[in-house]
Amino acid sequence: MSKKMKRRVKNVVYYIVGTLVALIFVAPMIWMLVSSLKNEPDIFKNLSSLSTFIPKSITLENFQSVFERTPMLRFIFNSLFYCLAIVILDLLVNSMFGYALAKFQFKGREILTNCVVALMVFPFEAIILALYVEINSFGWLNSWLALIVPFIGKCFTIYLFRQFFVDFPDELLEAARIDGCGPFRIFIKIVIPNSGPVFATAFILDFSAHWNDYLWPLLVSTNEEMRTIQLGIATFFNTEPIEYGPIMAALVICTIPMLILFLILQKYYVQGITSSGIKG
């Protein structure tokens, strides 16, 4: 067998294996989508065969039930506002922090960088009780401040920006200084327009993390008007009758914004992960 033929066979094997692995990961999402279009008695039929992925009849009653049983549009709005507010403030604050650690020379910079890296190992669950007590002492419960303010600063995002800005060309910054630009103007006019990949990466990671938040909103927002979409989905398990068709439909609705976001920013996300030196 020639080298060219071996290479073709090798590529075919890679594609087949890659396709099978992709199908394994995508299968639960496909089943969720198909189940949302089924009647309630048909959802858990034939789970051991591929026919479970093929609905006998398609119905949109489950989606209709979602909006009839819960104020789903309100939950979606709350989640979008919650996530976008955190992400915008997060990008603004942590990008400047990371830029300062990467490009400014000041006493204690290395110590501060090491502290940022060290704090990344602490899980949120380790500080959630102390954070709740602090928020309660401020009188912020059942307010957007309780939901948003604790997540503005993130060590991982700071480090992500810092790693990207370390390789940012110093020549561009020096040329801007010669033209009379100050540090803040350089950051706004030069750095941000040339840092799209890392901003897209941070945007996706932050948005997806907070879109899926459940525990913290559950603790600090007991008011139904402030419930996020994850808390809204949980109500389907707490109110009778418990029907899995509407639950699947609600999960599909919850997944759509993340799919759209990732498809739009996928190219920049890959570039940002590569150029920032953050490896999985």
Q: Say how far apart CA 229 and CA 34 lie, in whole Å.
A: 21
Q: In this model, does residue 280 exceed pLDDT 70?
A: no
What's the confidence (pLDDT) of residue 275? 53
Distance CA 83, CA 62 (A): 26
Average pLDDT of the chain is 85
Greater confidence (86 vs 238) lies with 86
What one-character-per-residue DSSP string does 72-137 give?
A: HHHHHHHHHHHHHHHHHHHHHHHHHHHHHHHH---TTHHHHHHHHHHHTTS-GGGTHHHHHHHHHH
Helix axes 61-69, 72-103, angle to 10 degrees: 80
CB count in 10 Å sphere of residue 26: 10
Mean pLDDT throughout 25-50? 84
CA dist 144 and 130 (Å) reads 19
pLDDT of 270 reads 63
Residue 277 binned pLDDT confidence (cut-offs 50, 70, 90): very low
Q: What pLDDT score was predicted for residue 60?
A: 87
Q: Read off the pLDDT of each residue in 253-266 and give the average, rounded to a whole number.
A: 83
Q: CB-hemisphere CA count at 13 Å for 123?
A: 2
Q: What band does 99 get if pLDDT is binned at 50, 70 and 90?
A: very high
Q: What whole-number percentage of the chain has pLDDT above 70?
A: 95
Instruction: Report how far apart, in Å, the C-alpha atoms of 5 and of each of 12, 13, 71 are.
Output: 11, 12, 59
Provide the pLDDT confidence category of residue 273 given band limits of 50, 70 and 90.
low
Task: Using a pLDDT cut of 90, give the percent of the chain over it.
Answer: 21
State the CATH class of domain 63-276. Answer: mainly alpha
Q: Ramachandran region of residue 70, left (φ > 0), alpha (ψ -120 to 50) or beta? A: beta
DSSP state of 142: T
Look at residue 226 in the predicted model and tell me its pLDDT: 87
How sure is the predictor about 279, in pLDDT bands with cuts at 50, 70 and 90? very low
Helices (H), the chain: 3-36, 61-69, 72-103, 109-119, 128-138, 144-148, 155-166, 170-178, 183-186, 196-211, 215-220, 229-234, 244-276
* Contact of 275 with 94, CB cutoff 8 Å: no
- Size of the chain, expressed as the number of residues it contains: 280
> For 244-273, what is the mean pLDDT?
80
pLDDT at 274: 55
Cis-peptide, bond into residue 123, ω within 30° of zero: no
Convert the pLDDT of each residue in 191-224 to its tens digit.
888 888 889 888 888 898 899 888 899 999 888 7
Q: Does residue 229 contact residue 78 with C-beta atoms inside 8 Å?
A: yes
The vertex-100 CA angle with 94 and 105, nearest 5°, equals: 160
Predicted pLDDT of residue 86: 94
Residue pair 258/204 in contact by the 8 Å Cβ criterion: no
Tell me what the mean pLDDT of segment 128-149 comes to.
91
* Per-residue pLDDT reduced to its tens digit, 154-199: 899 999 999 889 888 888 888 888 888 888 888 888 888 888 888 9
Determine the distance from the C-alpha atom of residue 226 to the mean position of all C-alpha atoms in its chain, rounded to a whole number: 20
| 100-116 average pLDDT score | 88
Per-domain boundaries in the chain: 3-59, 63-276
CB atoms within 10 A of CB 6: 10
